[in-house]
Structure formats: structure tokens, C-alpha cells
């Protein structure tokens, strides 16, 4: 199948969160399974060099944002072809994909991401000129949502379209005037269209106009159809529930393998767990903690935001620290949470280590060196870190929501994790206490670690699910 993924980030080129891992991992898995996959992304500063992009096709100035070209390259470390939308006035900047160096949204984000979607639509219809046209366009999150909307409005013969919601909280909502800037007719700004509560919503455009919708876990697919989880779009999602599919994310088991991970201090695996201890020691040293082997070490790698329940951890931790326990945190985000975590580390310098920042290699080391890994999210579409943790032998303590509920089973039900229900510090503390009790039984702990490490989280299952959804989308497109 010829598949065009449209995404604002992909691991190997630029990553701010799980979307990047999923876009790259899914594309790679589909390519390995024999599909003809391409990935379309903006050419942010530095990406063209990373992708080794040399071939160039002029695209004119599609939305009046400046001259635009298409660059062709490869996703680093893979043989997945990448097309980069090269519009220097929009993408060649200091800062991240969405935010300037001061942490503010770029004011022209509507135009920047409309162009991404617009080019996807152009390639889908003018594709034969490039010798390739997709049968299905797979748009990821709001940043890609103009692609299915544009294809709908252009009409005619078109590929099937699929929009995946990686996080419904982020919808890309702007003032109504952007409708013309993003290249859609004024009629698209309507209740039966991209209008949401007096704003133009990129994501709603994707959800409304796509042939099919997916989200990243079965439980989240249910939750977003309810008023509490629907972020204002539950009505639309419920009305399209026969087009909405919850497909659990996989992880790239090649990139995330403790037997061959070059970021680790010592390789280990289910058949050779012993060297894992060296990773714990190295992690303790890195964070300046007491290098005690028997003290349970809790890890956290996360965006620091309200969603992730960091406040619950902050509320639970003082009492937990009355027992032997160490905590290491790697994350960045909300300045208040950053400061509260720094404070905690200052109060307990030999027991709590905090690194405010983004560090891919260190994140691998946290998974490999922690005994427990905590994900206390208020909501979690899928979540990847709990899967990385299990694969690296750190047992997860998670709130029972979204993809966490679909991937972590409590020890009391035969699983290898510790789950809690209520969004409060007491519930988290209770789960942590249960985990610490089990930790004290070394043999049982090792058995649970092995159980966790032997679980399969690869893309195999999801790749089949996506194939079915694509077939349905292609059939839908040909019947409209």
C-alpha cells in the first residue's frame, strides 16, 4: 500500500514527545512489512542535513507564506523516504517546531502547519508528476489536519484520509479569519466543519473531514467520546464512532533494546539481568545520590505538565521519603513544576535527583537504572514511557487511564505493574507502598521484572490494525 504520513515531528529529525516516536516507528514498521511508505514533514533548521536531502522540486508559493520546495531524503537510520517541505521563511528558525526560543507559540503557526497539510494534498493529487501518489494520507494531530480537509474540498479522485489523535488536548484553535489563510473556503468554518466554540479548529477539521479517525489506544478511544474526556469534541467523535478506531501504539523494539542500547552503561536482557545493577549505580552517580544497591530507585521521564500528574507525585513524595527510597526526574515544561522539583532535590540532595531539560540518552539510562517507573497521568492517550520502562525492567506505577490502562496490569491481576484509580496523592501513595512491599521480596521482584521485559510491545499488532483502517478509508474515499 502507498502510504503518506504527514507529521510535524519524527524521531531522528526532530522530537518533542511521543508523536515523533510513533510517526517514525509506525512508518518504519510498515516499510519493513513491505508497504511503500513516505513521511512528509517541515524542513525545520538542520533537518535537511540530517535527512541528507538533496533532490529538490519547486512547489511555488502555495499559501502566500514564501517560496516553497520539496526536498527528498531518508529518515536517519532507516530506509524510510522523507519529503521535507522547505519554506525557509516559515521553518528555518531558532527554537523548536512549535515554540520560539522564549517558549512562545510562533504567531504564524496556522500558516506554518496549514502549509504542511496543503503540500500533502498537492502531492496526493499532483503526485504522478513526482512519480508517486499515495493511496492513503495519514495525518497526525492538528498540525497535519489541513491535509484531509483540503482533499475533501478539492473533491474529485483522491486518496483515503485518516487522522490520528495523539492528544485531544492540543487542537490548534485560532481566530475564525484563519480559514482563508489556510486555503479552505469560508464554508469550512461551520459547525459541520472546522468551527469549534467560535474558533477555527485545525483538529476538528481533521476529525470532521477525514474518512477515518484513529487514536492511540482502545481505552482513550472510549474516553474521548465522553464529556469528561472529549475536550469539547465528544459530540463529533460520538457521531463518528463507527469511523473511530483505537489502535494501541507500539514501540520501536530495535531502538529500545537493553541488550544493544549504546546509551547504557552495561547491556542486559531477560537472560542476563545481572549487569542491570551497573546501570542503577551509574544513574545514582550521575544524579549525585547515595550509591546504595538495595534502596528502591523510582524514575520519571516526562513533559512536566498538568496532564502528567506531576503535582500528585510532589504531594505524595514527602511521606514516601520517610521510607528508604530514591527518586530521579528528567523532564521540562511548566516552570512552577520545574521549580518545585528543583526544591525537592535541594531538600534531599542524596535521595532526589532532578534534571530539568531534554536528554534522549539520559532518558534511556533512567529506564535502565530505575527499579520503579511512575506515570501518574490525569489522562494519557497511550503513553510510551511505561512500555520503555517495562522493556528495561523497571516496573510501572501508573494511573489506570487511557493507554496506561491498556498496557499495564496490576500485580493483583497477574500483571507486573501497580495501578491506581483516583486522581489524588493518597491513591498514588497506596500504589507506591504496594510496590515497595513487593520490592522487598527480591525473588518475586526479579520474576516480575522478567515478566515485564518479555512482554511484546512491537508495532506488529498495530500495523495490521492500520492496514484495515486504510482499506476502509480508501473504500470510503472512492464512494464519496
Minimal distance, residue 15 CB to ligand ADP, in Å? 7
Output 193 or 383, the one with its CB closest to ligand ADP. 383
State which H helix or E strand residue 164 sits in: strand 160-165
Bridge partners of residue 160, in order along the sequence: 136
**Strand, coil or helix: 100:** coil
Q: Does 286 bind ligand ADP (CB under 6 A)?
A: no
Nearest in space to 119 (alpha carbons), one of 75, 182, 76: 182
Residue list 121-180, contact with ligand ADP (CB under 6 A): 167
Bridge partners of residue 200, in order along the sequence: 174, 195
Minimal distance, residue 141 CB to ligand ADP, in Å? 10
Residue 351 in contact with residue 289, Cβ under 8 Å?
Answer: yes
Residue list 59-118, contact with ligand ADP (CB under 6 A): none
Q: Does 358 bind ligand ADP (CB under 6 A)?
A: yes
Q: In angstroms, what is the C-alpha Rg of the chain?
A: 23
Q: Give the C-alpha separation, 431 to 425, whole Å.
A: 10
**Phi and psi dihedrals of 413, rounded to 5?**
-110, 20
Output 121 or 345, the one with its CB closest to ligand ADP. 345
Output 214 or 302, the one with its CB closest to ligand ADP. 302
- For helices 335-347 and 310-320, what crossing angle results, to 10°? 10
Residue of this chain nearest to ligand ADP (CB atom): 18
Residue 401 in contact with residue 414, Cβ under 8 Å?
Answer: no
User: To the nearest 10°, the Cα dihedral for 114, 118, 120, 126?
Assistant: -170
Residue 470 in contact with residue 454, Cβ under 8 Å?
Answer: no
Output 40 or 384, the one with its CB closest to ligand ADP. 384
Residue list 363-382, contact with ligand ADP (CB under 6 A): 363, 382
Q: Does 17 bind ligand ADP (CB under 6 A)?
A: yes
Q: Does 398 bind ligand ADP (CB under 6 A)?
A: no
**Strand, coil or helix: 36:** strand
Residue list 19-38, contact with ligand ADP (CB under 6 A): 19, 21
Piece in contact with ligand ADP (CB under 6 A), picked from 46-54, 232-240, 336-344, 383-391: 383-391
Residue 320 in contact with residue 428, Cβ under 8 Å?
Answer: no
Q: Exposure of 411 by Cβ count < 10 A (0-12 exposed, 13-18 middle, 19+ buried)?
A: middle
Bridge partners of residue 73, in order along the sequence: 82
Piece in contact with ligand ADP (CB under 6 A), picked from 97-105, 238-246, 330-338, 406-414: 330-338
Q: Does 12 bind ligand ADP (CB under 6 A)?
A: no
Minimal distance, residue 382 CB to ligand ADP, in Å? 6
Minimal distance, residue 182 CB to ligand ADP, in Å? 25
Output 16 or 451, the one with its CB closest to ligand ADP. 16
Output 136 or 248, the one with its CB closest to ligand ADP. 248
Q: Does 253 bind ligand ADP (CB under 6 A)?
A: no
Q: Does 360 bind ligand ADP (CB under 6 A)?
A: yes
Chain positions contacting ligand ADP, by CB under 6 A? 17-19, 21, 167, 301-303, 330-332, 358-360, 363, 382-385
Amino acid at each position: 500500500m502507498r502510504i503518506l504520513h504527514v507529521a510535524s515531528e519524527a524521531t531522528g529529525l526532530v522530537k518533542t514527545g511521543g508523536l515523533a516516536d510513533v510517526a517514525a516507528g509506525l512508518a518504519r514498521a510498515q516499510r519493513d512489512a513491505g508497504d511503500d511508505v513516505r513521511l512528509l514533514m517541515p524542513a525545520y533548521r538542520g533537518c535537511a542535513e540530517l535527512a541528507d536531502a538533496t533532490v529538490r522540486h519547486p512547489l511555488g508559493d502555495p499559501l502566500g507564506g514564501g517560496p516553497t520546495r520539496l526536498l527528498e531524503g531518508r529518515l536517519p537510520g532507516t530506509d524510510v523516504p522523507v519529503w521535507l517541505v522547505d519554506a525557509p521563511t516559515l521553518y528555518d528558525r531558532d527554537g523548536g517546531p512549535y515554540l520560539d526560543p522564549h517558549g512562545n507559540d510562533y504567531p504564524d503557526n496556522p500558516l506554518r502547519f496549514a502549509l504542511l497539510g496543503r503540500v500533502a494534498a498537492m502531492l496526493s493529487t499532483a503526485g504522478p508528476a513526482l512519480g508517486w501518489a499515495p493511496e492513503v494520507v495519514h495525518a497526525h494531530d492538528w498540525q497535519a489536519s489541513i491535509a484531509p480537509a483540503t482533499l475533501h474540498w478539492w473533491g474529485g479522485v483522491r486518496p483515503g484520509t485518516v487522522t490520528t489523535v495523539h492528544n485531544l488536548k492540543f487542537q490548534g484553535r485560532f481566530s475564525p479569519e484563519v480559514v482563508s489563510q489556510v486555503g479552505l473556503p469560508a464554508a469550512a468554518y461551520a459547525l459541520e466543519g472546522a468551527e469549534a466554540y467560535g474558533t477555527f479548529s485545525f483538529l476538528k477539521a481533521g476529525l470532521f473531514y477525514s474518512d477515518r479517525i484513529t487514536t492511540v489506544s482502545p481505552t482513550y478511544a472510549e474516553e474521548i467520546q465522553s464529556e469528561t474526556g472529549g475536550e469539547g469534541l465528544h459530540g463529533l467523535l460520538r457521531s463518528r464512532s463507527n469511523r473511530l478506531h483505537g489502535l494501541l501504539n507500539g514501540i520501536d523494539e530495535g531502538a529500545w533494546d537493553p541488550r544493544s542500547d549504546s546509551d547504557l552503561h552495561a547491556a542486559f536482557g531477560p537472560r542476563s539481568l545481572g549487569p542491570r545493577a551497573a546501570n542503577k549505580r551509574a544513574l545514582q552517580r550521575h544524579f549525585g545520590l547515595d550509591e546504595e544497591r538495595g534502596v528502591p530507585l523510582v524514575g520519571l521521564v516526562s513533559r512536566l505538565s498538568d496532564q502528567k500528574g506531576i503535582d500528585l507525585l510532589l504531594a505524595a513524595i514527602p511521606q514516601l521519603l520517610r521510607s528508604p527510597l530514591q527518586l530521579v526526574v528528567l523532564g521540562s515544561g511548566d516552570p512552577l513544576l520545574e521549580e518545585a522539583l528543583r526544591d525537592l532535590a535541594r531538600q534531599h540532595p542524596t535521595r532526589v535527583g532532578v534534571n530539568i531539560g531534554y536528554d534522549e540518552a539520559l532518558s534511556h539510562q533512567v529506564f535502565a537504572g530505575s527499579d520503579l517507573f511512575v506515570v501518574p497521568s490525569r489522562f494519557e492517550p497511550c503513553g510510551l514511557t511505561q512500555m520503555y520502562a517495562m522493556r528495561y525492567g523497571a516496573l510501572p506505577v501508573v494511573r489506570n487511564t487511557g493507554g496506561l490502562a491498556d498496557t499495564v496490569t496490576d500485580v493483583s491481576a497477574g500483571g507486573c505493574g501497580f495501578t491506581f484509580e483516583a486522581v489524588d496523592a493518597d491513591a498514588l501513595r497506596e500504589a507506591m507502598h504496594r510496590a515497595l512491599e513487593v520490592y522487598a521480596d527480591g525473588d518475586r521482584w526479579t520474576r516480575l521484572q522478567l515478566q515485564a521485559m518479555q512482554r511484546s510491545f512491537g508495532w506488529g499488532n498495530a500495523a495490521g490494525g492500520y492496514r484495515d483502517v486504510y482499506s476502509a478509508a480508501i473504500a470510503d474515499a472512492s464512494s464519496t
